[in-house]
Structure 1
């Protein structure tokens, strides 16, 4: 069994700012506000959360080959 990685580095597509965040394990995160430019990120079509769209690691349920929220 592979360990689940709970940290993901989110990159803002608007300004390029990056920040490492801890992903929730009990809920999807649909919105994320970039602390630099204040753009509110939403998941891209086909993705379940902002980590799957803009992070360097997918969310924990996707890492476990499960469906996300």
Structure 2
């Protein structure tokens, strides 16, 4: 059974609330992200593997496919 992976996610800055549509990488998790609006840099919440899992509308591709984080 093939699992359809969604690559688009809207990430919301936890500092200022700015939203930005992004295309997630398929081969790596994103552990640090800088808001283009307020320039705040943020990392995943404890227990999440990447910023998309914490602040995005869709989980990262590795989590969508297998429910497991990519290796750090």
TM-score, length-scaled by structure 2: 0.90
Counterpart of 2:32 in structure 1 is 31
SS in 2 for 1:20: strand
Return the offset for 1:66: 3.6
Alignment gaps of 5+ in structure 1: none
4+ long deviations beyond 2 Å: none
RMSD over aligned Cα atoms = 0.9
Give CA-to-partner distance per residue, 1:6-60, whole Å, 9 cap, x none. Answer: 0100000111100010101111110000000000010000000000000000000
1:6 aligns with 2:7: yes
Give the TM-score of the pair, scaled to structure 1.
0.93
- The runs of 5 or more residues in structure 2 that have no matched partner are none
Question: Is 1:55 equivalent to 2:56 in the alignment?
Answer: yes
